[in-house]
Structure 1
Amino acid sequence: MNKKILIFEDDNATAEFSGILAQQLGFEVAFRTKTDNVLNDVLEEAPDLVVMDNWIPGEGGLSSIDMLKNTASTAHIPIIFYSANTDFENLAKDSKADIFLSKPFDIEDFEDALNRLIPDSSK
């Protein structure tokens, strides 16, 4: 069974691009365009990894990551946090995400992050 990635991204082009990269690596992909129900969305989709945009409607990336990492049933799920924020390095330091990527991100960096957080090659 394929590993699943849940991408929280409100920019259609970035969501589609990220999803295509993940699918080419053999992952199943689900998408959300807002974080109003982030905890329910994650519990419903049961992903093996979450990709979270910072500037996303709803709770926003930073608050959503904090909620997921502080909830026992979702704390184990690795999270890639990405943003085009000019001060993203400092913002990322305050987050509990596992990997941080600045947008626009390099394709190889994104693929490497997926493979490091879900190392099972049989995806």
Structure 2
Amino acid sequence: MAKRIYVLEDDKEISEIVQMVLEMEGYQVSCFADVSRFNAGKAGGVPDLYLLDIMLPDGNGLEVRAALTNDPITAHIPVLIMSAHTNVAEVSNWPGEKHFIAKPFDIYKLTEKIAMLLKG
């Protein structure tokens, strides 16, 4: 069975490219353009990985990450944060396990990072 990834990204072009590439890699991908749709979509099940943008029209990916890591149902699922507005130095201040990729990113580095996180 294909690994399932939930993508929270408000930029339609980035979302479409990420979805296309990840599906070509064999993943099942669900994309959400904002936090409210993401929260509604979570009822569809628990994925194997979350890929979250930080700056969103109705919220913040770091707050979503905190909610996921504090929920016993999703706490064990890897979360990869992507952003054009955050750097590695800022990431070191985040609590808990940190997985980050800066935008713009090389699509091969993204797929490598996702594969590594899914191997556990």
Q: Do both proteins adopt the same fold according to a TM-score greater than 0.5, normalized to the shorter chain? A: yes
1:94-118 CA distance string (max 9 Å, x none): 1545420000001121011111011
Q: Which residue of 2 aligns with 1:81?
A: 81
Matched residues in 2 for 1:90 and 1:22: separation? 28
The equivalences for 1:13-24 within 5 A come to 13-24=13-24
**How far apart are 1:56 and its partner, in Å?**
1.2
The equivalences for 1:1-123 within 5 A come to 1-36=1-36, 38-85=38-85, 87-93=86-92, 94=94, 96=96, 98-119=98-119
Is the CA contact (8 Å cut-off) linking 1:66 and 1:96 kept in structure 2? Answer: no
SS of match in other structure, 1:91: helix
> Percent identity, aligned pairs only?
27
**How far apart are 1:44 and its partner, in Å?**
2.5
**How far apart are 1:89 and its partner, in Å?**
2.2
Greater displacement, 57-66 / 37-46: 37-46
Greater displacement, 96-105 / 59-68: 96-105
1:28-68 CA distance string (max 9 Å, x none): 00011111364553342321111000111223111110110
**How far apart are 1:2 and its partner, in Å?**
0.9
Name the Cα RMSD after superposition. 2.0
Which amino acid counterpart does residue 52 of structure 2 have in structure 1?
M
TM-score by length of 1: 0.85
Structure 2: gaps (5+ residues) = none
Matched residues in 2 for 1:38 and 1:95: separation? 22
Matched residues in 1 for 2:117 and 2:91: separation? 17
Matched residues in 2 for 1:74 and 1:90: separation? 26
SS of match in other structure, 2:81: strand
